[in-house]
Structure 1
Amino acid sequence: MKKLVASTVLALSVIGASAVPAAADNIKIGYVDPLSGGAASIGQIGLNQLNFIADTANKNGGINGEQVEVIGYDNQINPQTSLVQVQKAIDEGVRIIIQGNGSSVGSAIEGFVAKYNRRNPDAHIVYLNYGAIDPVMTNDNCSYWHFGFDANTNVKMAALTNFIKQRAEIKKVYLIDQDYSFGHAVADAAVSMLKEKRPDIEIVGNEFHPLVKITDFSPYIAKIKASGADTVITSNWGQDFSLLIKAAGQSGLDVNWYTYYAGAAGGPTAIKQADMSGRVFQINEGISNLGYEPAEKTAREYGARYKDAPVLFPRIFNTTAMLFKAIEAAGSQDPADFIPKLEGMKYASFSAGGDSFMRKDDHQLFQPLYISSFGPLANDKAFDEEHTGWGWNKVGEIAAKDTVVPTTCEMKRPG
C-alpha cells in the first residue's frame, strides 16, 4: 500500500509540468481504460463504442461543426499507469477524459484532474466516468470536474435488494467480490441493506479475491457449495465474472446469481455454456430487448460493424450524448464553458427513452434501472448476446426518481 501511495503522489506531482497545447478544432476524447491484459476485452468494447459514436457524429457534421476524435490510452487497469496516461493525453491536447473500469483507477483520475485544474486555471480538463461507481467518488471526494454516468454502488444495491426482498425463497446469501474499493463497497452495501430489508436472510460468506488475477475459481465455488447458499451476490466483471460462472457450471453449483456486470464481455457466453437459463440476474441502465426502436436501430448498426464483439454499454451512449448536448448548448468544447450545461441536464436515456437527470449537487446521473435475467429469447426478433442464441429479458424496472439517494458531497466550485 505504501508503494502505491508513493507512486500515486509522484505521478500527481508532475501535474502542471506541461500545459495543454493549443487546442485543435477536433473535439478530442481521451479514453483511458484497459486495452491489454485480463480486462482488455471490456476496455476494447468501450473503445469500439466511442469510435462508433464519433464516426456517427462526424458523418452528421460533427458537434458545432467540429469533428470528434477518440484516442485510446491503455491504463492496464492500474492507478499509477492511468495517471501517466492521463498526463500523456493532456500533452496531446485532450481535454475530455473518459474512463469506467475500476473505481481505484477512477478515484486516482478524479483526484488527478482536480489537482491539475487548480494548477492550470486556464486549461481545464474534465473527467466523464461511465462505470467507476464507488459511492465515495460522488460523495466525500466529489469534484466539480467529475461526472458519474452510471448509478453508484448504493443506488444499484438499493434497487437489487428491493427485488430480493420480494423473493421469499432466498434464505442464504454468499457474497463474492473483487478485492478493491468497489468490491468492498458492494459487499458492505449488500450486508447493510439485506439486514435492514430481510433480516431473516443469513449471510453465509463474504469473500474477496485479487482483481483480474484468478484463473481457476473452483476453490471459491467449493466454499460457496459448502456454505449451503441458495443465492450469490457478486459485483465481479470481465474475466473474473466469466471464470467464476464457468467454475460454477463445471461444479454443478445450483444457486441463483445477482450481479452488476454479468452482461459485460464474456459474461453471456459463460452463462450459456454453464446452462444457467433464468438463474443469472443483473441490474443496469438498460438492455437491448426493451422494445425501444431508436436504441434497437443503433444496436443493429453497431452489431453489424462489430460482429465479433457486439456487446453494448448503454451508459457510454448516455455519456457522449449528454456531453455533445452540453458542448452544443455552450457553443464551446472548453470544459469550463460546457460543465454548467451538464449540471442539472435532463435527458431521455438511450435504452428506452426514460427520464434521466444529472444532479447538480454531486454530478451523479439518475436514470431508469432495469433488472433482467439471461436465457432463451422471448421471440425471434429479440437481441441475442455474443451469438449465444440467448438474451436479456426484463424482470423489473425502477424509474429514475425512485433511485435517488442522499449525497454527502460538499462540492468546491471554481471561482
Structure 2
Amino acid sequence: MKPSFAFAPLAAAMLLAAGAAQAQQTYKIAYIDPLSGPFANVGELMLTHTQYAIEDINAKGGVLGGTKLQLLQFDSKLSAQESQSALQAAIDQGAQAIVTGGSGSSVVTALVQSVNRWNQRNPGKELIVLNHSSIDPEMTGKGCSFWHFQTEANTAMKMKALANYIKKTPDIKKIFLLNQDYAHGRQWANYGRQLVGLARPDVQFVGETLHPIGRVKDFAPYIANVKQAGADTVITGNWGQDMTLLLKAAGDAGYNLRYFNHSAGSVPGTVLAVSQAKLGQLTWVAEWHPGEAGVPRADALAKAYKAKTGKDFLAPRIEFTPRLLSAAIDKAGSTDATKVARAMEDLSFDSVVGPVRMRAEDHQLLLPQVVNTIAPVDGKAVKVGWEGTNYGFRTDAVYTGNELAQGTECKMVRPAS
C-alpha cells in the first residue's frame, strides 16, 4: 500500500506557522539603573538613549530576521540590594540580557557577580551584562567575567587621555583630588595621581578628599579646603548632582578652578551649572561631544533623536550598546547567551563615532575618546550653545581606542562548550 501524502500541505502550513511564530518571539533586555533619587535624571537619560536604539532596531526588522527586542525597566535606586531585587525580577520576566552602568561601579560589580552565580547554577538560562558607564578597570581586569561586556572606555583609558592633554598644559601646577567615596571615585583619584604624575612630574598634588556619594548638599566646606591648599586644578570623578553642586559652590566662592572629569558634560544640567558659575573650566572626556567636527553621522543621529524624543542626545555609546548586542545575536545566528557572548568577542562595529572593537581578552570596548572643555560660544571653536546657554563644547584633543588601550590582568574563564 502506498503512503498517503494527503496531509503534506497541512504539515507544511504548520511548519511555516511555527517558523513565523518563532520569528516573532521577543528577546528581552532588562534595563537596571537609577530612575529615582538624586541621580534619576542620569538614569532617565540613559533609558531614553537605550529605548531609542531598541525602537529603531525593531523598526528595521529586529534580529534574526524578525525577532523583536523588548525592553524591561527596573529602578536600581543606586543600591546593590535594590539591583539584586531588580535582577531577580528581570529573570522572573524572562530577561536574556542586562543593560546597566549608571548605578556606579560597586553596584554594577555586585550585579555582575550575581549574574555569574546565576549562570553557573542555571545552564541554558544564562544572562549577558552590557555595561555602558561603570568604568572601574577591575571589571575588565582581575574581576573580568565572560558574561560582562564594557562598552565605555575604562577609568585608566580616560585618565590617560586627560594626562596626555595635561602634559601639554603647563599652567596646571597644583592639583587637588576631590572624589565621591566609592569604588569609581577612589579609582579616579588613584589613576589621576598615577598617570598625571607620570605625564607631569613637576605637578604638585596638594590634597585629597573623599565625600559621601549623592548626600552632600553644600560643597562650600570642600571648596574652602581646596582653596586653602592653593590648588589651581581639581581632578574629580563627580557626576550628576555631585558635580553641579560642586561647580555652584566654587562659583559662589569666586574660585576660578580647572576641573578634569570623565563624563560630566554628558549629564543634564552640567553645562547650565558651568554657565551659572561663570568661573572655572570643566574639561572632560567622552567618545563624542555635541558639535564635534568630523563626525557627521553622530550629528545626524543627535538631530533625529532630538526630533523624536524632544531631548538632547549626549552619549552615543549608550545608544549603540543595544546595537552591539543585536550585531552579536545576528552574527551568532542565535539568542543563546553563550553563543552571543562568543560572537561579541572581537566584534568590530561601525558606530556613529567611528569603528569600535570589543577586545576578546577582557571584553573592553576600544572606542575613540575626545578631550573637550565646556566654554563660551565664540563662533570658532565653540559654535553652538547647549542647555539654553551660550556655553558649548570645545574640542581639545582626540585619541583612538588603540592609543589609549591598557594592558589587562584579566584571566578570562570561558564556558567549556
What TM-score does the superposition give when structure 1 sets the normalisation length? 0.90
Cα distance change, pair 348–393 in 1 and its aligned pair in 2 (3 A): farther
Q: Equivalences for 1:102-117 in 2 at 5 Å?
A: 102-117=104-119
Deviation string 1:48-83 (CA, Å, 9 cap, x unpaired) is 111111222222222221222112100101011101
Amino acid at match of 2:151: F
Does the aligned pair in 2 maintain the 1:310–1:385 contact within 8 Å? no
Instruction: Give the equivalent residue in structure 2 for 1:282.
Output: 284
Cα distance change, pair 56–384 in 1 and its aligned pair in 2 (3 A): farther
Whole-Å Cα distance in 2 between the matches of residues 203 and 295 of structure 1?
A: 37
- Alpha-carbon offset, residue 39 of structure 1: 0.7
Does the aligned pair in 2 maintain the 1:30–1:96 contact within 8 Å? yes
Whole-Å Cα distance in 2 between the matches of residues 286 and 243 of structure 1?
A: 24
Question: Does residue 266 of the first structure (1) align with residue 261 of the second (2)?
Answer: no
Whole-Å Cα distance in 2 between the matches of residues 92 and 315 of structure 1?
A: 26
Cα distance change, pair 92–367 in 1 and its aligned pair in 2 (3 A): same
Instruction: Give the equivalent residue in structure 2 for 1:301.
Output: 304
Whole-Å Cα distance in 1 between the matches of residues 316 and 141 of structure 2?
A: 24
Instruction: Give the equivalent residue in structure 1 for 2:7.
Output: none
Aligned residues: 390
Q: Secondary structure at the match of 1:168?
A: coil
Amino acid at match of 2:410: C
Deviation string 1:315-349 (CA, Å, 9 cap, x unpaired) is 11231221111111122222212111110011233
Whole-Å Cα distance in 1 between the matches of residues 308 and 24 of structure 2?
A: 29
Question: Does residue 397 of the first structure (1) align with residue 372 of the second (2)?
Answer: no
- Deviates further, 374-383 or 83-92: 374-383
- Alpha-carbon offset, residue 220 of structure 1: 0.7
Instruction: Give the equivalent residue in structure 1 for 2:73.
Output: 72
Does the aligned pair in 2 maintain the 1:204–1:227 contact within 8 Å? yes
- Alpha-carbon offset, residue 383 of structure 1: 4.9
Instruction: Give the equivalent residue in structure 2 for 1:215.
Output: 217
Amino acid at match of 1:99: T
Cα distance change, pair 321–366 in 1 and its aligned pair in 2 (3 A): same
Whole-Å Cα distance in 2 between the matches of residues 259 and 194 of structure 1?
A: 13
Instruction: Give the equivalent residue in structure 1 for 2:322.
Output: 320
Does the aligned pair in 2 maintain the 1:130–1:148 contact within 8 Å? yes
Does the aligned pair in 1 maintain the 2:53–2:320 contact within 8 Å? no
Deviation string 1:93-125 (CA, Å, 9 cap, x unpaired) is 111101112001111011011111000111110
Q: Equivalences for 1:71-110 in 2 at 5 Å?
A: 71-101=72-102, 102-110=104-112
Amino acid at match of 1:86: L
Does the aligned pair in 1 maintain the 2:254–2:279 contact within 8 Å? no
Does the aligned pair in 2 maintain the 1:26–1:67 contact within 8 Å? yes
Question: Does residue 148 of the first structure (1) align with residue 147 of the second (2)?
Answer: no
- Alpha-carbon offset, residue 393 of structure 1: 1.9
Deviation string 1:254-280 (CA, Å, 9 cap, x unpaired) is 111111122112211111111247x11
Amino acid at match of 1:52: Y
Whole-Å Cα distance in 2 between the matches of residues 287 and 195 of structure 1?
A: 27
Whole-Å Cα distance in 1 between the matches of residues 70 and 47 of structure 2?
A: 12
Whole-Å Cα distance in 2 between the matches of residues 129 and 382 of structure 1?
A: 32
Amino acid at match of 2:46: G
Whole-Å Cα distance in 1 between the matches of residues 402 and 82 of structure 2?
A: 38
Q: Secondary structure at the match of 1:157?
A: helix
What TM-score does the superposition give when structure 2 sets the normalisation length? 0.90
Whole-Å Cα distance in 1 between the matches of residues 68 and 250 of structure 2?
A: 47
Does the aligned pair in 2 maintain the 1:373–1:395 contact within 8 Å? yes
Does the aligned pair in 2 maintain the 1:174–1:205 contact within 8 Å? yes
Instruction: Give the equivalent residue in structure 1 for 2:373.
Output: 373
Amino acid at match of 1:284: A
Unaligned runs of 5+ in 1: 1-21
- Deviates further, 254-263 or 122-131: 254-263
Whole-Å Cα distance in 1 between the matches of residues 389 and 100 of structure 2?
A: 28
Instruction: Give the equivalent residue in structure 2 for 1:257.
Output: 259
Deviation string 1:357-415 (CA, Å, 9 cap, x unpaired) is 11100000111110001123454995543232422121101112111110000111001
Q: Pairwise CA RMSD of aligned residues?
A: 1.8
Amino acid at match of 1:401: N
Amino acid at match of 2:130: L
Does the aligned pair in 2 maintain the 1:131–1:149 contact within 8 Å? yes
- Alpha-carbon offset, residue 251 of structure 1: 1.0
Whole-Å Cα distance in 1 between the matches of residues 322 and 54 of structure 2?
A: 9
Question: Does residue 171 of the first structure (1) align with residue 194 of the second (2)?
Answer: no
Instruction: Give the equivalent residue in structure 1 for 2:415.
Output: 414
Question: Does residue 332 of the first structure (1) align with residue 334 of the second (2)?
Answer: yes
Instruction: Give the equivalent residue in structure 2 for 1:31.
Output: 31
Q: Secondary structure at the match of 1:297?
A: helix
* Matching residue within 123, 126, 129 for 1:124: 126
Does the aligned pair in 1 maintain the 2:49–2:313 contact within 8 Å? no
Does the aligned pair in 2 maintain the 1:311–1:386 contact within 8 Å? no
Instruction: Give the equivalent residue in structure 2 for 1:360.
Output: 360
Aligned residues with identical type, % of pairs: 36
Instruction: Give the equivalent residue in structure 2 for 1:11.
Output: none
Does the aligned pair in 1 maintain the 2:219–2:246 contact within 8 Å? yes
- Alpha-carbon offset, residue 24 of structure 1: 8.2
Amino acid at match of 1:374: I
Whole-Å Cα distance in 1 between the matches of residues 61 and 372 of structure 2?
A: 37
